[in-house]
Amino acid sequence: MNKNPEPQQRKALGRGLSALLPARPNPVSIAEATTGSPARPPSVLDAATLPIALIVPNPDQPRGNFDPEKLNELAQSIRANGIIQPVTVRPIGEHKYELIAGERRWRAAQIAGLTEIPVYVRHVGHDHVLELALIENIQRADLNPVDTALAFRQLVEGHGLSHEQIAERTGKDRSTITNFLRLLKLSEPVLEELAGGGISVGHARALLNLTDPAAQGAACHQIISHSLSVRETESLVKKLAKSGSGQTGHLTEAKQLDPNIRAALDEMAQVLGTKVRLITRNNRSGKLEIEYYSSDDLERIYSVITARRS
């Protein structure tokens, strides 16, 4: 059998690989990166090396927190190996650049003592910076769920993008965008646990079925202290919702409370991590109800109350 076609197959394979691998951008000088060329498409990346002092962070950076320990670890790696992946910046004035993506590397480079850093210069307007930063971080799985949700909200409120448009530009389903935005309805303590990894997105979605912030906090505490699975959390939330413990506004009396008393009740609920209700008999007397959802939860509340006596 004739085997002559084999070289052609290899040649075709070579063309396929070259089509998959993008061409590396050509290095340019700082002056060229600053001014650019009128004919250059805004999507083109220019490679350059810039002084760190000329680069400023993006005020709309999607990432809210930078772990100091991880930054130091990255700085140590940079001292040993240099910066493997350049940061992405855009020119915003004469010899001044704003970070689009790579703020962790930029911060770590400063800790490592670098005075220059490799960059890709991208010629884009301000409206596209957050979008590009968000997409870059999502593709690197580099944001916690709360930072991702906040970035999505900024794209909606600050840039007028619909859920469908965000989905198209980030490669996510529209329902994913909507579900992330719903997470922002959770109480602040729960969002802190979600951002820090104390609970998962699955846990957080289950807690959305509790409309009362104190009930969310109490349930979140149980998730962490008892290492509840998402399914166990869903069962807990159903019990709380069925009993009415997870709802707000079911007492018309609560809406009529003096604002100072309402604030005091909210503070007690925050400290105890559970729902606190005031039931008045008249202007001078009543009773205070503190809810608990298990024997362990009761013991926890007791410990909080007695600990505050000392």
Cα gap 98→132, rounded to integer Å: 13
Domain boundary among 92, 110, 132: 132
Same domain, 102 and 151: no
* 80 located within any domain: yes
What DSSP designation does 27 have?
A: B
Predicted pLDDT of residue 203: 95
Mean pLDDT on 48-52 = 90
Residue 192 has pLDDT above 50, yes or no: yes
Residue 285 has pLDDT above 80, yes or no: no
* pTM of this structure: 0.54
Render pLDDT for 98-142 as a digit per residue (tens, 0 to 9): 998 888 899 999 999 999 999 999 888 776 777 777 777 666 656
Same domain, 113 and 164: no
Domain boundary among 99, 132, 165: 132
- What positions carry a catalytic annotation? 103
Predicted pLDDT of residue 39: 38
* 222 located within any domain: no
Same domain, 62 and 117: yes
Same domain, 82 and 166: no
**Tokens standing for 278?**
């005031």
Cα gap 76→127, rounded to integer Å: 35
The domain of 175 spans: 144-185
> Where is mean pLDDT largest: 12-21, 133-142, 180-189?
180-189
Same domain, 153 and 122: no
* 231 located within any domain: no
CATH number of the domain encompassing residue 106: 3.90.1530.30
Residue 1 has pLDDT above 80, yes or no: no
SS3 206: helix
Predicted pLDDT of residue 142: 64
* 237 located within any domain: no
- Asked whether 129 and 90 are in contact (CB, 8 A), the reply is yes
* 7 located within any domain: no
* 174 located within any domain: yes
Cα gap 298→275, rounded to integer Å: 12
Same domain, 74 and 150: no
Share of the chain above pLDDT 70, in %: 73
Domain boundary among 87, 106, 132: 132
Same domain, 34 and 128: yes
Rounded to the nearest integer, the mean pLDDT of the chain is: 76
Segments in the chain forming alpha helices (H)? 5-20, 30-35, 68-81, 103-111, 129-139, 145-157, 163-170, 174-182, 188-196, 201-207, 213-225, 230-243, 252-255, 259-272, 295-307
Domains contained in the chain, number:
3
Cα gap 246→269, rounded to integer Å: 13
Question: Could you give phi then psi for residue 279, rounded to 5 degrees?
Answer: -115, 110
Q: What is the DSSP code string of 147-204?
A: HHHHHHHHHHHTT---HHHHHHHHT--HHHHHHHHHGGGS-HHHHHHHHHTSS-HHHH
